[in-house]
A and B are shown apart, each in its own frame.
Chain A
Amino acid sequence: MPGESRHSEGGFFNNLFRSRPRYVTVQPRSAPVEAPAAGEPSLTAVPVRRDERGRPVYGREVPDGLWTKCEACGQILYTKELAKNLYVCYRCQAHQRISARERLNQILDQGLEEEFDADLVGGDPLQFPEYQEKLRQAREKTQLVEAVVCGRGRIEDEPVCVGVLDFAFMGGSMGWAVGEKVARLFDRATAASLPVIIFSSGGGGARMQEGVVSLMQMATTTQAIARFSAAGGLYIAVLTDPTMGGIYASFGSLGDVILAEPGARIGFTGPRVIEQTIRQKLPAGFQTAEFLLKNGMVDAVVDRREMRRFLARLLRLHRKRGEWCDSRSIRVGEAPR
């Protein structure tokens, strides 16, 4: 898609920072989610909860318990204070794992304005032992339908499409539904000319219980990003603890800009498997965000308390040529493609 056609058609990036529409038009989903074929086990048992305004409610409210122990330094922390500090230990600065809901609340101006594919679920393609039971437990525990929450919202008024994986849901692993939701997020963002930010925290990566089907999601998500990228879209990957395996080796690695939270474990193979293979202890700091920064694999390590501000700055710095030329009365030349 040549660059000038987007400009001449008044593509979204053109008016994004001028007219600031209150809501972004996103292509409506045409077809409803079909139920699995007859005779197949249905996994659609989870109704999507909605608030009084009809918006889907994802995830639980803030964790319970007055006190929380920091796994890194052992300090007993007052949960209210910890929450105020965005779940960064106020003694040792360790970044605790947070739910998708908490993440969206921290990052977006007013939470999700619209959730995408809230009720999309996969199947049990391998009829894998205990998979359905594990899914049921994960849903009960997290009050999420699947391991990723996708939608759109704003960061300091900048509209974005955003996806967040939740580690508490089967380790934030990617099966068919997660892959499909991520792919659709990029397809929607392509259609709406919106940037995409994904917070990936998916333990083992691909979901073992869906076997080779989950492996294929690495291709599905990667290809959606390739289409999005070819259309000029900006994708910011934010790697949080932990981002491993098939998630790191697909959409986790393909950001135009890749950020990481301090101390996050990021890599392809899990440390236990590496230790077993090479029969030696791994060096301290191996596979941390800082290790990746040193090795040139991420652009920046960003403290959670700076993340929202940092993302907003990045979004503004990615304004298209037309917009900043305009503001300085420079004649718009064609952007290089």
Chain B
Amino acid sequence: MTPEAFEWEKPLAELERRIAELRSFSEEKGIDLSGEIATLEERAVALRQEIYRNLTPWQRVQIARHPRRPTALDYISRICDDFIELHGDRTFRDDPAVVGGIGLLDGIPVTIIGTQKGRDTKENLARNFGLPHPEGFRKAMRLARQAEKFGRPVVTLIDIVGAYPGIEAEERGQGLVIAESIRTFSVLRTPVVCAITGEAGSGGALAIGVGDRVLMMEYAWHSVISPEGCASILWKDAGRAPEAAAALRLTAEECLRLGVVDEILPEPPGGAHRDPDKAAAVLKEALVRHIAELLPIPPDELVRQRQERYRHHRSRPHWQMPPGPASAPAATGE
């Protein structure tokens, strides 16, 4: 079963259909068409490469939003040998837009926290389309501190357009909780590896996106605002989102160039939804590798390096930054 194709994939889908036709025809009639089939298959490979090499930023955003793109729980079930989900922020309620718990990752106990989109309309309504309320971020903070206490590394899986924009969310301090979450992850005395698996927009993404390493899947996007939001603020026209997507430089490659992410995780041809197992295997390998690198670093040094990472992005092609005034020792508590 091929998942529903995007508009720009139509020529490829058409080619694949013809190959399948030829194949069944040759089997039915017992005629050898292997030469023709091989030629077409070669063309399909070339066409696929051509299409995915030249994707526009907006097309990448579409892939990141594909309804069948693997969610946090899809990845967790594939990368963990064991996983126990833990619920609630201990203050208000359990936010279904954020999932978290403890899992075994290649033998290493880790706390995994992710934003959770639904896989269909019903689930999306229950999950609030993966848009957390303040209690969701509070749950994330609680689980992160719990991991710190037991010396477990923390993995965050990020797929979020932004924090939920609603009346109750504001009443309960959406902005304040995001700030507190950024602070919590900034001073956490245990390794934190963040993986942007889909969308990563605004402070909502950063609330669980501050870590020692930030990894980004090939077709994920990461920016200060969604392309639609940017277009409607800047040009009063959300329809110009494709333009905004290009202007915001939100692709994995650009984020790597800007020093905001450390590694791009390649996706299966056509996107993670075409082969979730393969996408999960790539994710798992990278997570384990980075955690193994971070585990030997003493907590004080870890926190210092993490804060240094944000202050002095490793690649700053557009400006040079002078060292600031006498740098204070890294904060290690709150």
Chain A contact residues, CB within 8 Å of chain B: 1, 26-37, 40, 122-126, 128-129, 176, 180, 183-184, 187-188, 190-191, 204-208, 210-216, 218-220, 222-223, 225-231, 244-246, 248-254, 266-269, 273-274, 277-278, 282-283, 286-287, 291, 295-297
How many angstroms between the C-alpha atoms of A207 and B248 in the bound complex?
11
CB-based contact B325/A36 at 8 Å:
no
The answer to whether A212 and B260 touch across the interface, beta carbons within 8 angstroms, is yes
List residues of chain A with CB within 8 A of the CB of B180: 253-254
Which 9 A/B pairs are nearest by Cβ-Cβ distance? Answer: A268-B175, A226-B331, A230-B331, A269-B165, A123-B319, A253-B179, A123-B318, A31-B322, A248-B175
Contact with A along B200-228 (1 / 0, CB 8 A): 00110110001000000000001111000
Q: A123-B318, A208-B225, A215-B223 are in contact. Are A274 and B165 (CB under 8 A)?
A: yes
Q: In the complex, which residue of chain A has the Cβ closest to the Cβ of B309?
A: A219
A122 CB to nearest chain B CB (Å)? 6
Q: Collect the chain A residues with CB atoms within 8 Å of residue B202's CB.
A: 206, 215, 245-246
- How far does the alpha carbon of A226 sit from the alpha carbon of B331 in the complex, in Å? 6
- B160 contacts A by Cβ under 8 Å: no
Alpha-carbon distance between A246 and B206 when the two chains are bound, in angstroms:
10
Contact between A215 and B319 (Cβ–Cβ < 8 Å)? no
Give every chain A residue within 8 A of B327 (Cβ-Cβ): 187
Contact partners of A254 in chain B: CB under 8 A:
179-180, 183
Q: Kindly state whether residue B1 has any CB partner on chain A within 8 Å.
A: no
Q: How far is the CB of A177 from chain B (nearest CB, A)?
A: 9
Q: How far is the CA of A90 from the CA of B123 in the complex (A)?
A: 54
Q: Could you count the A-B residue pairs with CB atoms below 8 Å apart for me: how many are there?
A: 219
Known: A211-B248, A222-B186, A269-B174. A191 touches B260 (CB 8 A): no
B92 contacts chain A at the CB level, 8 A cutoff: no
CA distance A5 to B183 in the complex (A): 25
When distances are taken between beta carbons in the complex, the residues of chain A under 8 Å from B324 are: 180, 183-184, 187
Using known A-B contacts A126-B247, A274-B165, determine if residue A295 contacts B173 with beta carbons closer than 8 Å: yes
User: In the assembled complex, which residues on chain A have CB atoms less than 8 Å from the CB atom of B286?
Assistant: none
Indicate which residue in A37, A122, A126, A208 contacts B233 across the interface (CB closer than 8 Å): A208
Instruction: State A283–B166 Cα separation when bound (angstroms).
Output: 12
Q: Pick from B166, B307, B329: contact of A278, CB below 8 A.
A: B166
Give the residues from 2 to 29 in chain B that come closer than 8 angstroms, CB to CB, to chain A.
Answer: none
* CA gap between A71 and B186 in the complex, in Å: 41
Chain B residue numbers with a CB within 8 Å of A191 are 325-326, 328
- Chain B residues lying within 8 Å of A219, measured Cβ to Cβ, are 182, 186, 206, 210, 310
Task: Convert B171-195 into 0s and 1s, putting 1 for each residue whose CB lies closer than 8 angstroms to a CB of A.
Answer: 1111110111011001100000000
A206 touching B182, Cβ below 8 Å: no
Contact of A267 among B175, B183, B203, B206 (CB under 8 A): B175
Contact check, B247 vs A122: say whether CB atoms are below 8 A apart: no
Chain B residues with Cβ below 8 Å from A252 are 175, 179
Closest to B229 in A: A273
List 14 A-B pairs, Cβ < 8 Å.
A29-B325, A37-B319, A125-B319, A183-B324, A191-B328, A211-B250, A212-B223, A216-B310, A249-B175, A249-B203, A268-B169, A268-B175, A274-B167, A295-B173
Which of B179, B313, B331 interacts with A216 by CB under 8 Å?
B313
For the complex, what is the distance from the CA of A28 to the CA of B250, rounded to whole Å? 37
A267 lies within 8 A of B331 (CB): no
- With known contacts A212-B255, A222-B179, A125–B318 Cβ distance under 8 A: yes
In contact, B326 and A187 (Cβ under 8 angstroms): yes
Chain B residues with CB under 8 Å of A212's CB are 222-224, 248-250, 255, 258, 260
B320 an interface residue at 8 Å Cβ cutoff? yes
* Contact A220 B311, beta carbon cutoff 8 Å: yes
Question: Do residues A211 and B223 form an inter-chain contact, with CB atoms below 8 A?
Answer: yes
Tell me the bound Cα distance from A229 to B186 in angstroms.
13
Q: Nearest-CB distance from A298 to chain B (Å)?
A: 9
Contacting A at CB under 8 A, from B110-136, are none
Question: Which B residue sits closest to A1, measured CB to CB?
Answer: B329
Asked whether B30 is an interface residue with its Cβ less than 8 Å from the other chain, the reply is no
**What are the residues of chain B within 8 A of A37 when measuring CB–CB?**
317-320
Output the nearest chain B residue to A215 by Cβ-Cβ distance.
B224
Output the residue of B178, B230, B255, B330 with the most chain A CB within 10 A.
B178
* B321 close to chain A: CB less than 8 A: yes
The CA-CA distance from A270 to B249 in the complex, in Å, is: 23
User: Is B158 in contact with chain A by the CB < 8 A criterion?
Assistant: no
Cβ contact within 8 Å between A286 and B170: yes
Which residues of B are found within 8 Å of A273, using beta-carbon distances? 165, 229
Asked if residues A208 and B322 are in contact (CB atoms below 8 Å), the reply is no
CB distance from B163 to the nearest CB of A (A): 7
Q: Is the CB of A268 within 8 A of B319?
A: no
Instruction: Let me know if A268 and B322 touch, CB within 8 A.
Output: no
CB contact between B321 and one of A1, A180, A204, A287 (< 8 Å): that residue = A180
Asked if B183 and A222 make an inter-chain contact with CB atoms under 8 angstroms apart, the answer reads yes
- Other-chain contact of B331, A34, A223, A277, A296 (Cβ < 8 Å): A223
A188-B325, A227-B330 known; A122-B229 Cβ under 8 A:
no
- B234 touches A (CB below 8 Å): yes
Which residues on the A side are within 8 Å of B323 (C-beta)? Answer: 30-31
Report the separation of the CA atoms of residues A207 and B224 in the bound assembly, to the nearest whole angstrom. 8
**Is B146 interfacial (CB-CB < 8 Å)?**
no
Is the CB–CB distance between A124 and B331 below 8 Å?
no
Nearest CB of chain A from residue B194's CB, rounded to whole Å? 11
| Residues of the A chain whose Cβ atoms lie less than 8 Å from the Cβ of B224 | 206-208, 210-212, 214-215, 246
